[in-house]
Amino acid sequence: MKKYKWIGIGVLCVVSCIVMSGCSSNTYAKQLSEEKRLIEEYIERNGINVIYEEPEVWGEKDYMKIEGYDNLYFHLEDQVIKDTMEVKVGDRVSVRYLKYKLTEYADTISYWTTDDGGYPVTFTYGDGTDVSACTAWHAAIQQMKYSGSTCKIICPSKLGFEDDKYNVVPYGYTLMFRIRRF
């Protein structure tokens, strides 16, 4: 009899979980949909021109949709080529960045920057196991190519830092990186 009692309680728990999760209005799919909407609104309110191929000359509001990634947009601010090194897989790179939420309007942007801490973030470029950088940074640096370049990116949570993936909040970043070869 005790055996059947525990089975009954277990079945009740499973049914309760299914019913409760079905009633939840904030599913992961809905959070992703909301995040996509926030990115689209950010692009619209900032007058960003989405392009699909790298231009010869970057307009101030041109952001290229990076192929192979959902909702990842890249804008090259400054590319230094003369007397600089081109990034290669395995290079150590140091990144200074400004991080800001796309959920807020320009006059109330909250941000975190490595200038606050005084040190850049250093990681191995092209190494997917190095958790000190987010996936979006690797994609952006691939586009930047040269040490000393600066860019801006619009980044969905699943391509951001590990903590950002759980919050489903899109961020924008301004990145500047330097190559460190030993």
Distance CA(176)–CA(77), nearest Å, equals: 10
Residue 50 has a pLDDT of 97
As averages over each run of 10 residues, the pLDDT of the chain (182 residues) reads 50 43 70 91 93 94 94 89 78 86 64 69 79 82 86 91 77 82 58
Residue 6 has a pLDDT of 46
Strand partners for 50 = 63
Distance CA(111)–CA(52), nearest Å, equals: 28
pTM, two decimal places:
0.77
Q: CATH number of the domain at 48-180, please?
A: 3.10.50.40
